[in-house]
Structure 1
Amino acid sequence: MFGLIGHLTSLEHAQAVAHRLGYPEYGDQGLEFWCMAPPQIVDDIVVTSVTGKTIYGKYIESCFLPEMLASQRVKAATRKIINAMAHAQKHDIDITALGGFSSIIFENFDLEKMSHVRNVDLDFQRFTTGNTHTAYVICQQIEHAAPQVGIDLSQATIAVCGATGDIGSAVCRWLDACLEVKDLLLVARNRDRLNELQTELGRGKILPLEEALPLADIVVWVASMPKGVELDPQTLKNPSLMIDGGYPKNMATKLQHPGIHVLNGGIVEHSLDIDWKIMEIVSMDVPSRQMFACFAEAMLLEFEGWHTNFSWGRNQITVEKMKQIGQASLKHGFQPLLLGM
């Protein structure tokens, strides 16, 4: 059995979803209540591969909200993720994906040191961040969406914003090894990590965001946009492709301009309908088939019987592992979301 650990985008979103899922006692409560609310299994999932194999899973709502980080309730945020993982393990779930901010919190706050939760000793082999599949899907979106908007990759400049993160560094490795692109721009906050990545790749120009954006034909966003930064469509190339790999995905509402194409990054579509409710509440266009690639990774690991932490740790994703999970993705009927043109 596979599991998905997720969270909602805001307190307002959480309150609305709680009412929708039949938890009115959660729906009328404020942030303090959500800081104390325990994890809940709120959905049972049935997925059938195009090979004919059927698997079963559960969606675990962690009750984490981004406001907990913004309001300096870091201990509450970290406790949410660890408790949700323990909840999954207690229910004998073999492999569980950490979705959204869950994996970021786990890595940034070194939660692996918190292996004992009440009466549960966490077995980290049972958990995956899903980042390998996410990185693979974003790379496929680059390759297949660029021609949709008239961009020739062999002549293209690609900026990766968040290049030193787990997903961003994997995307850079794939672009360097598997695609012929003219220039690669590396954008991130930590200069030391940028230098290390540039040395590893043997290529790539390190630039601040404001200098990189006007030069890029394709911008891959796998980091939150810095506060105070406004995107001026007049300064961007036309045509250009913006792949929004963040969460929540809101770039399409900020950039509405002819010639600037925004694609929700790291989203896949399954070939067959999935029996679940949870994707309806995160505004997927086709909730019976579309999902975050990190969630799909848990399904792929269950389909293949790879009950291990396939994606784990920072900057450990290799091109070989991306190809491995990519092959499984295609085998079981998952396709990267592309532009609806």
Structure 2
Amino acid sequence: MFGLIGHLTSLEHAQAVAQELGYPEYADQGLDFWCSAPPQIVDSIIVTSVTGQQIEGRYVESCFLPEMLASRRIKAATRKILNAMAHAQKHGINITALGGFSSIIFENFKLEQFSQVRNIKLEFERFTTGNTHTAYIICKQVEEASKQLGINLSNATVAVCGATGDIGSAVTRWLDARTDVQELLLIARDQERLKELQGELGRGKIMGLTEALPQADVVVWVASMPRGVEIDPTTLKQPCLLIDGGYPKNLATKIQYPGVHVLNGGIVEHSLDIDWKIMKIVNMDVPARQLFACFAESMLLEFEKLYTNFSWGRNQITVDKMEQIGRVSVKHGFRPLLV
């Protein structure tokens, strides 16, 4: 059995979803209540591969909300993720994906040092961040959506915002090794890590956001939007492909301009309907078919009986592992969401 650990995008969203899912006692509660709310299994899932194989899974709502980080309730946020992992393990789930902020919190706050959760010792091999599959899907979106828009990568400049992160660094490695993209622009806050990445690749220009965006034919956004930063679409190339790999995805509502094509990054479509409710709740356009690529990674590992933390740690994703999960993704009927 596979598992998905997720969370909702805001307190308001959580209250609305609680009402819809039949938890009225959660629906009118404020942030303090959600800080103490336990994880819940709120959806049972059946996925059928194009090979005919069928698997079963569970969605674990962590009850984490992004406001917990904004309001400095850091201990509550970290406790949410650890409790959700323990809940998944207690219910016998073989491989569980950490979705959204779950994997970021796990990495940033070094939660691997807290392996004992009450009477449960976490077995980390039961969990995956899903970042390898996400990075692979974003790279395929760059390749295939660029072609649809008439952008020739061999003559193109690709900017990666968040280039030193786990997904961002994997995307740069793929673009360097598996495409003929002409120029890579590397954007991140940590200049030392940017220089290390540049040295590893042997190419790429380190730039600030304002300088880089007008030069880019393709922008891969896999970083949180800095507070107060706005993108002026009039400064972007036309056509320009902007892939929003963040969560929640909001660039499409912020940037609406002729010639600027915003694509929800890291989203896959399955060839067959999936029996579940949760993607409707997170407002996927086609909830029976579309899902986050990180969630799909745990499904793929369950299909293949690879019960291992396939994606784990920071900046450990290799091009070979991206190709491996990519082959399995195609085998079982997943494909990248395109324009």
- Give the structure-2-normalised TM-score: 1.00
- Residue aligning to 1:267: 267
Task: Tell me the SS of whatever aligns to 2:56.
Answer: strand
Alpha-carbon offset, residue 147 of structure 1:
1.4
Alpha-carbon offset, residue 187 of structure 1:
0.2
CA distance, structure 1, for counterparts of residue 282 and residue 159 of structure 2? 27
Task: Tell me the SS of whatever aligns to 1:185.
Answer: strand
- Residue aligning to 1:330: 330
Task: Tell me the SS of whatever aligns to 1:243.
Answer: strand
- What amino acid maps onto 2:192 in structure 1? D
- Residue aligning to 2:305: 305
CA distance, structure 2, for counterparts of residue 106 and residue 69 of structure 1? 13
Matches within 5 A, 1:34-183: 34-183=34-183
- What amino acid maps onto 2:128 in structure 1? T
Q: Is 1:247 matched up with 2:243?
A: no
CA distance, structure 1, for counterparts of residue 145 and residue 81 of structure 2? 34
**Structure 2 residues not aligned, in runs of 5+:** none
After superposition, give the CA deviation of every residue in 1:125-169 in whole Å (9 maximum; x if it has no partner): 000000000000000000000011121110000000000000000
- Residue aligning to 2:194: 194
CA distance, structure 2, for counterparts of residue 158 and residue 172 of structure 1? 9
- Segments of 4+ in structure 1 off by > 3 A? none
Task: Tell me the SS of whatever aligns to 1:44.
Answer: strand
Q: Is 1:279 matched up with 2:285?
A: no
After superposition, give the CA deviation of every residue in 1:256-287 in whole Å (9 maximum; x if it has no partner): 00100000000000000000000001110100
Alpha-carbon offset, residue 219 of structure 1:
0.3
Alpha-carbon offset, residue 252 of structure 1:
0.3
Task: Tell me the SS of whatever aligns to 1:80.
Answer: helix
- Residue aligning to 2:318: 318
- Residue aligning to 2:215: 215
Alpha-carbon offset, residue 68 of structure 1:
0.1
Alpha-carbon offset, residue 228 of structure 1:
1.2
Q: Percent identity?
A: 77
CA distance, structure 1, for counterparts of residue 59 and residue 155 of structure 2? 43
Task: Tell me the SS of whatever aligns to 2:146.
Answer: helix
Task: Tell me the SS of whatever aligns to 1:286.
Answer: coil
- What amino acid maps onto 1:20 in structure 2? E
Alpha-carbon offset, residue 227 of structure 1:
1.0
Q: RMSD value over aligned CA atoms?
A: 0.4
CA distance, structure 1, for counterparts of residue 289 and residue 217 of structure 2? 30
CA distance, structure 2, for counterparts of residue 64 and residue 313 of structure 1? 21
CA distance, structure 1, for counterparts of residue 23 and residue 248 of structure 2? 23
CA distance, structure 1, for counterparts of residue 79 and residue 187 of structure 2? 31
CA distance, structure 2, for counterparts of residue 210 and residue 76 of structure 1? 35
After superposition, give the CA deviation of every residue in 1:202-250 in whole Å (9 maximum; x if it has no partner): 0000001111101100000000111111111111111100000000011
- What amino acid maps onto 1:21 in structure 2? L
CA distance, structure 2, for counterparts of residue 173 and residue 289 of structure 1? 29
CA distance, structure 2, for counterparts of residue 230 and residue 223 of structure 1? 14
- Residue aligning to 1:16: 16
CA distance, structure 2, for counterparts of residue 11 and residue 124 of structure 1? 29
- Residue aligning to 1:6: 6
After superposition, give the CA deviation of every residue in 1:181-214 in whole Å (9 maximum; x if it has no partner): 1100000000110010000000000001111101
Paired residues, what number? 339
**Structure 1 residues not aligned, in runs of 5+:** none
